[in-house]
Structure 1
Amino acid sequence: VSSKTMASNVINKMDPCSMKSRVFIVNLSTLVVKKSDLEAIFSKYSRIMGCSVHRGFAFIQCVNERNARAAVAGEDGRMIAGQIGGMTSWS
């Protein structure tokens, strides 16, 4: 899959392995921040397998748990479109 290929809108909710490789982003100004913005931010940590943007929050699906944890460590508290985002991954 090309790195320029857009990630899926679908995140596998049933697979326990995928849960651990997911980043949950809160306090997100989704009127301003788009899926492509999040993919650009998080692509330095992992190939993005899925991205789901909702009102005020989003999920990013990384390749594995290690990449998700690195993304949280690197981006938690980051200013995104004028708001400080909070992030977590599942353990």
Structure 2
Amino acid sequence: SPPPTGAAAMASNVTNKTDPRSLNSRVFIGNLNTLVVKKSDVEAIFSKYGKIVGCSVHKGFAFVQYVNERNARAAVAGEDGRMIAGQVL
């Protein structure tokens, strides 16, 4: 069967590639209430800025890996200072 598309497609967990292009298109999300906010929530919030190829959620923070740096910069500009689950990013 074909892979899922759109909101049903979950990004991989890989957000630790060290090549310059990957580093520049990765977003760190700090002060994240990970008791409430899950990977699917992070992807839903940040997918409006571009295609997410990787997303990893850790205790209190997450990383989102975009296809390109333009998407990552747009996400930072759009979400910095946003309140999610009672905590300001």
Same fold (TM over 0.5): yes
- Which stretch has the larger CA shift, 10-19 or 46-55? 10-19
Equivalent residue, structure 1, for 2:22: 18
Equivalent residue, structure 2, for 1:67: 71
Q: Which has the larger radius of gyration?
A: 2
Q: How far, CA to CA, are the matches of 2:71 and 2:18 in structure 1?
A: 20
Consecutive unaligned residues of structure 2, counting only runs of 5 or more, are none
**4+ aligned runs moved over 4 Å, structure 1:** none
Instruction: Give the AA of the match of 1:54.
Output: H
Q: How far, CA to CA, are the matches of 2:24 and 2:83 in structure 1?
A: 24
Consecutive unaligned residues of structure 1, counting only runs of 5 or more, are 86-91
Instruction: Specify which of 51, 55, 58 is matched with residue 54 of structure 1.
Output: 58
- C-alpha displacement at 1:84, in angstroms? 0.3
Q: How many residues align?
A: 85
TM-score normalised according to structure 1 size: 0.88
Please identify which structure carries the higher helix content.
2
| CA deviation vs aligned residue, 1:9-31 (integer Å, no higher than 9, x gap) | 11242221010000001001111
Structure 1 residue matching 2:22: 3-state secondary structure: helix
TM-score normalised according to structure 2 size: 0.90
Equivalent residue, structure 2, for 1:45: 49
